[in-house]
Chain A
């Protein structure tokens, strides 16, 4: 299963097949995994306390003006 993580060093040399040059491949699979990690959080609904805070922004000054 090692090669499933990507054709970077972890997968290099294990199947001996025609893998692209070492310097290019890690970037692509790393980007993919990094994006997965990032999107994991970014796609979550914004938590209620943060939403409340955002909604309340400016309300105080609005009332004062």
Chain B
């Protein structure tokens, strides 16, 4: 294996935790996040000759993973995110775990907004990508990313403020 390939492999290993986390932010399921990360690693390795060293490898990997996720969605079409389990398990939480319950509420609300809004919030709010980089990853206009971030924020705030949803 060449030095460049070794470097590429090392970078892949280093970036794999954030790749998994991004996969989870899209799929909301650990197993699927792992599958997505594995798939992205395989695809990235197959295409690594086309990667330009010195460019943003994290953005490149996120794009590969995202493309896999949406290809899968298009194939299946019947993806249902099961937030019921989260709500059900929450009911049995002891009162002393309110902080944990609130975090679970937040995660449930995050799972209820659209994947596009969720990924925009993660890319901009957590991953540290610029709007331009996020737009490249998502294959859309900068304005669309901005709009998704704003709508995602509003949707999350509305869900967390709605006592009916909280009791669902």
Contacts and interface: CB of A to CB of B under 8 A. Distances in A.
Nearest to B98: A1
B1 A37 contact: no
Contacts of A61: 1, 5
Interface string B103-127: 1011100100000000001100111
A58 interface: yes
A55 B162 CA distance: 47
A4 B20 CA distance: 29
Contact of A50 (B1, B41, B158): B41
Given A1-B98, A8-B157, A37-B110, A49 B38 contact: yes
B134 interface: no
Contacts of B1: 58-59, 61-62, 65
Contacts, number: 103
A4 B17 contact: no
Interface residues of B, number: 40
Nearest to A60: B1
A43 B37 CA distance: 15
B99 interface: yes
Interface string A9-44: 110000000000000001100110111111111111
Interface of B: 1, 5-6, 9, 12-13, 16-18, 20-21, 24-25, 30, 33-34, 37-38, 41-42, 45, 98-99, 102-103, 105-107, 110, 121-122, 125-127, 153, 156-158, 160-161
